[in-house]
Amino acid sequence: MGRRSSSRAATGPAATADPWTPAVAGLARRHRHERLIGLVLLVFSSVSILTTFGIVAVLLLESSTFFGVVSIREFFTETRWSMVEQRFGILPLLTGSVVIAAGAALVALPLGLLAAIYLSEYAAPRVRKVLKPVLEILAGVPTVVYGYFALTFITPHIIRPLFPGADTYNALSASIVMGIMIIPLVSSLSEDAMTAVPRALREGAYALGATRFEVATRTVVPAALSGIIASFILAVSRAIGETMIVTIAAGAAPNLTLNPLRSVQTMTAYIAQVSQGEAPHGSLEYRTIFAVGLALFAVTLLMNIVSSIVLRRYREVYE
């Protein structure tokens, strides 16, 4: 009897451990670690959102003081911008930004799209591996170098011989070099969009007797249209937000003109000029920085909204 009792006691619930207990405990620890990692990633991902809210809050706060002195109507309808005369109409700065961005788009969009078509449809793999990194080197050149290139080479050696009446600082030279700068942005994103088009579409077009050029322009480009348009809008947004090129090459004269041979001033160039410390802190001239910055933010936000609408409208989903 004593042996049976001791034997039963040895094989009772206290002596036999549940084999699933370590696995369950390990799984619970993994879940806690995953929740902690998710919380950390959420905090880091929220930094950009909070930064954007902070920038908008500062722009609105400082601009409200400016618009307490200068009416919004005058700001958007006045045709002159002069701190000496206390005339604050953003139209000259906005027009200068649009003229230079439009000129850069005329240079970059066709050349970038043609380069993307060649890389995607014509270039051999070995050529593509060499040519694409070389083309993207243009994006790594400092913008101040582009600015001085426009001022010391494009204007005196190209624009002045063709148009003797052009200003030394003009919008055309800034547009040309800015277009060269954003060509890699257009070509790289467009080439990625065209590469993502399924091979079956190309083979179907070839089976119908289409040439390589017809396949590229009538099949691949329409199929990748959403990505191509997105690259266009992104490149133009990059051109509108550029500072150093327009500061060096386009001048600092806020002229309300559509003539690319005249000296103009963009919104970014004006912000850079006033931010050098010439305007006393807290003055009306100082607060113009935030008013112009708010207008620039609104323009880029509008372009991003248009880009999102275009992507949703023309996006193609392949399986």
pLDDT tens digits, 172-189: 999 999 999 999 999 999
Between the alpha carbon of residue 158 and those of residues 29, 164, 173, 183, 300, the distances in Å are 69, 10, 9, 20, 32
Q: Which helix (H) or strand (E) holds 81?
A: strand 81-82
Cross-strand bridge partners of residue 2: none
Tens of pLDDT, residue by residue over 87-122, are: 888 999 999 999 999 999 999 999 999 999 999 888
pLDDT over 70 at 4, yes or no: no
Ramachandran angles phi, psi of 198, nearest 5°: -60, 145
pLDDT over 60 at 200, yes or no: yes
Burial 296-309 (b: 16+ CB within 10 A, else e): bbebeeebeeebee
Q: Tell me which of 282 and 293 has the higher pLDDT.
A: 293
pLDDT given at position 14: 47
pLDDT given at position 35: 86
Q: Find out whether 97 and 267 touch, Cβ atoms under 8 Å.
A: yes
pLDDT given at position 52: 86
Angle of the 284-314 helix axis to the 21-67 helix axis, nearest 10: 130
Average pLDDT over residues 274-290: 80
Percentage of the chain surpassing pLDDT 90?
30
7 band by pLDDT with thresholds 50, 70 and 90 = very low
Question: What letter represents residue 86's amino acid?
Answer: Q
DSSP 8-state class, residue 13: T
Tokens of 86: 């206390």
Q: Find out whether 307 and 233 touch, Cβ atoms under 8 Å.
A: yes
- Ranges 67-76, 170-179, 268-277: which has the least confidence: 268-277
pLDDT given at position 318: 54
Check: pTM over 0.85? Answer yes or no: no
3-state secondary structure of 185: helix
pLDDT given at position 150: 93
Q: Which residue has 């369950």 as its token pair?
A: 24
Q: Report which listed range, 130-144, 171-185, 269-283, is most confident.
A: 171-185
Average pLDDT over residues 63-90: 87
pLDDT over 80 at 40, yes or no: yes
Cβ atoms within 10 Å, residue 196 = 13
pLDDT given at position 6: 45
Average pLDDT over residues 227-242: 89
311 band by pLDDT with thresholds 50, 70 and 90 = confident
83 band by pLDDT with thresholds 50, 70 and 90 = confident
Ramachandran angles phi, psi of 253, nearest 5°: -105, 110
